Structure 1
């Protein structure tokens, strides 16, 4: 996909030239027909006043897209020691200590802090480093004067080194796969096997996906995948009842992540690709970034969470009881042909929060919670709950759906998903219910959309009840 190409180019540049690093400042998730973001871009090289040249990017409306993100990327050597004494803190307290201090750090202090975290694995163990660095990698927060993308590149590198060292120095929590096909016996059900994805083909009979199935048959239940490069079908083929399996993925994953899952937990620590969670039966799939096309295609159950945006046709043809939270937006055809029953009676639903993060990592509302059309097109069951306190969505964007009242019964099924969403991404439920500084009721913030047929049936049921 396009993102995999971008990541591959950046990784190649970073390996040859220290002026580059492996992460882009921003990945644009857009559609060409959108009236809010343009989707298509024009690039121009223009002369500057000092005799140089500047690359200028505009969208299709002619609006300049800022290609000069905030934050310093001029590195300096790490300080002799970190300004924080993290070694004796638990990982949760250490996380908050870093978040509080980071906006005031320069690069020498920030790099020294990462070195101290990495070195503390010798005393506190890899689990401590894992807990702290995965949160620093996944969450959105204020990085002060540091370029965010470069800081995250260093965080991921420190985490990768810590995990990769388990290949030659295993511990109770982690053991690394030494060579292709190396299948050590797990010391416990909680021990993670760390796998470098690079030697494995992206698909086929020798693929990483099938190697994971073999490792699961050998007793492994917890997997950490490093350096993924378009590897497909991860988490597929494990069979029924996999509630004891967890997979953590790092890198540029390929299509069909977590498809066909029956109970497993999957965390994608970054952006995911197309066909994620296809025919997902049960379990939990968490994407700490954006997802591609057809997320949750034909899903039948489980809980799905996306920190950012989804591309076109998420949850198309879903049935049963799948539940999805998208904290950003979806681009078009959300929940097309959705057939997920009654959300108030165990059926499925989608929550769209319509949020993004500002430069300080604070959530803020998008211009509109849903920029496309064909919302709930041809749906016959389920519901969509949209954070839309200013009622910017219009009937013209619906195709087979209709707005209806948000009730206390609706909030009873929505609230647990939003609280779980807060646990995964650190997006406070109270913040979602706050509009222009004022805490409001759920019915004032969220709007419910149901299939037109369903609305008609509800009206008929009410009429029949009134005349009994």
Structure 2
């Protein structure tokens, strides 16, 4: 009965919006239906309702309703025209569910009291700027927003019109929202079937799925494949079930992973009230800004996520009680399986809590003389206040260039390697938040006169900047006021880097980066930049290290899409994850990434003999289409990650996707695979070959360097070496590594 009532409300609301806002019954059709002439003024093919008397208007509206009920639009389109004079539209009709659509930029922050409020100001870019085309699109207890394109609009439209649900807007997004309503609300597909109806698992990817559900996925595809969206898209959906008291965000992504996304989780279940935040965005700096706001509003403690990752489809589901308070939450992957959340520990807000006095260091004399050993042994026992106090004491006490550089080195080590240490009951994210805040505080001090080897500048002084360095000085740049991109050196960070380089600067420290693009030596001129050193802190934007022609760049955080794209030579170190299309069209260079890389890494790259060898060391795993059309280079993928307690674990697989080496002619991929998780379906275009002595000697050196850069120690025991991971010791030996090369046979590529 609930379902019948809901569908009646939805269909009635849909029909009302159709006849009162989108379409107008043609005057002749309406008069024929009424059996009489309608005495209301008309212009063209439409009655002017606003000129009617109240009794005439009531009769007219009743007639419209009856006409619509007897002549469903989907089967009688020839009886309708496009309504020019709008009357009214139903924006949302669900229980405890509301959306707001506007053709402008005004957002109604005073939202209704409900467990769900979805707000999105984006307008459709491929259709008329009109209120009905604005996101989100709501259908009873679902709502959908969209980033990208749906290229098979007609296939989706035909599918939903089979069930008398024609689109009310003129944008591709609404047909997707109608299909989402059908499978997620009206038909209530299981979670895995919901994902499969939108983003089908095909080809080699099916072989990576558990065999017991493979047949189920194919059955859904037989029904839904033809109307599954095509093109580059990311749907952010909301589904609400008032009867089960559940509400959820559903992340739907195209199966080819063409659209960027980053997901972030923050979870604290250590007090009487559990708190949970799930965020998805296109780039990390948006996540960072959101967490800062939530921390400021005392909703969470700390502005750092517990986990950041890329998801190919996920449900963030919350359950609420009669007072609309959330009392339970869970994550579901695209195959309907629960995602296990690690207990991150107790959180701490460094911005809201003030230290009343400096910490007493009498029990920690000389701790900073060997800070790596000190924190490795004592981090677990230190309280948040003690950890914070030790760092703040050093930042506040810095009084010389030597002390400044030593403290920055200490803070940078913590920033990069906290994830490898055991924090005890404390959340690693909150410790990292403390470290990042102290890095900002220290670099803010670079403008003080006592530090002669550092010169600090922000955007306010960019236009008047005319200083040249002396004796290898470092230029410290506060990026927060600069635009993310542009050509004006007084406004754009990348342009200012070029301006500073032309003034002779070669050592750069950039902090408070927030989505700034093309932070690279590439902007510094047309020649080689081998004498440049750059350290970057914050959440950078796309094209980090792209087009490098020399120098050393260290990123103390995650990179986004197109990292080290078109790299010629130089050294790039990323102490975090990297995004999509990493290393595209590179010709050489040395790259280290202390995390995963997303799809299409090093596509169309070549090991050009005219420049530095292309050598890549990845602590984590690649994803789909790795090494597509690759023509050279040596790559190592460890397939490892650290958990919330600093312990080392194997990823689900050494490579997280399929279609490796498609169209590739030459390269060497080495995977650490002690449990034989890499399967042939992932490298159909490649082949597994044994190491020669020379190859193993080369890769042994690169593997050891990767572990060293990741703060991973090899344990020597009985003449052998071991790695401690997955809670056990695994021997470091050639037999636990796999060498994959392109299968070859492509005519014209034999010499590469």
Structure 2 contact 543–564 (Cα < 8 Å) conserved: yes
Distance 1:117 1:142 in 2: 23
Distance 2:299 2:321 in 1: 26
Structure 1 contact 291–311 (Cα < 8 Å) conserved: yes
Name the counterpart of 1:371.
656
Q: Bigger CA drift: 272-281 or 64-73?
A: 64-73
Structure 1 unaligned spans of 5+ = 33-38, 341-347, 457-468
Task: Tell me if 1:54 matches 2:328.
Answer: yes
Task: Tell me if 1:245 matches 2:526.
Answer: no
Name the counterpart of 2:310.
29
Name the counterpart of 1:192.
474
Q: Bigger CA drift: 161-170 or 321-330?
A: 161-170
Structure 1 contact 120–129 (Cα < 8 Å) conserved: no
Name the counterpart of 1:466.
none
Distance 1:8 1:324 in 2: 31
Structure number with the bigger relative contact order (C-alpha 8 A, sep ≥ 6) is: 1
Task: Tell me if 1:135 matches 2:135.
Answer: no
Name the counterpart of 1:464.
none
Q: Compute the displacement of 1:168 (Å).
A: 3.2
Name the counterpart of 2:502.
217
Distance 2:430 2:486 in 1: 34
Structure 1 segment 64-103 matched on structure 2, within 5 A = 64-67=338-341, 69-74=343-348, 78=355, 80-83=358-361, 88=366, 93-103=370-380
2:676 counterpart (381, 386, 391): 391
Structure 1 contact 406–446 (Cα < 8 Å) conserved: no
3-state SS, counterpart of residue 411 of structure 2: helix
Q: Compute the displacement of 1:387 (Å).
A: 0.5
TM normalised by structure 1 equals 0.86
Task: Tell me if 1:434 matches 2:727.
Answer: no
Name the counterpart of 1:328.
620
Structure 1 contact 169–175 (Cα < 8 Å) conserved: no
TM normalised by structure 2 equals 0.55
3-state SS, counterpart of residue 112 of structure 1: helix
Q: Go from structure 1 to structure 2 and tell me whether the alpha carbon gap of 1:255 and 1:430 turns closer, same or farther (over 3 Å shift).
A: farther
Name the counterpart of 1:300.
587
3-state SS, counterpart of residue 69 of structure 1: coil
* Higher CA-based Rg: 2
Q: Compute the displacement of 1:423 (Å).
A: 4.0
Name the counterpart of 2:438.
158
Q: Compute the displacement of 1:455 (Å).
A: 12
1:354 counterpart (639, 644, 653): 639
Partner deviation per Cα, 1:120-154 (whole Å, 9 max, x = no partner):
42366111111100000111211112111111111
Q: Bigger CA drift: 409-418 or 394-403?
A: 409-418
Name the counterpart of 1:417.
702
Task: Tell me if 1:9 matches 2:290.
Answer: yes
Partner deviation per Cα, 1:217-257 (whole Å, 9 max, x = no partner):
11111111111121111112223221211111111211111
3-state SS, counterpart of residue 307 of structure 2: coil
Task: Tell me if 1:337 matches 2:629.
Answer: yes
Distance 2:338 2:380 in 1: 28
Q: Go from structure 1 to structure 2 and tell me whether the alpha carbon gap of 1:194 and 1:170 turns closer, same or farther (over 3 Å shift).
A: farther
3-state SS, counterpart of residue 380 of structure 2: helix
Distance 2:404 2:365 in 1: 13
Q: Go from structure 1 to structure 2 and tell me whether the alpha carbon gap of 1:219 and 1:422 turns closer, same or farther (over 3 Å shift).
A: farther
Name the counterpart of 2:516.
231
Distance 1:6 1:176 in 2: 27
Q: Bigger CA drift: 150-159 or 112-121?
A: 112-121
Structure 1 contact 4–252 (Cα < 8 Å) conserved: yes
Structure 2 contact 358–393 (Cα < 8 Å) conserved: no
Give the aligned length.
439
Question: Root-mean-square deviation (CA), in Å?
Answer: 2.7
Q: Compute the displacement of 1:356 (Å).
A: 0.8
2:403 counterpart (113, 125, 130): 125
Q: Compute the displacement of 1:167 (Å).
A: 1.8
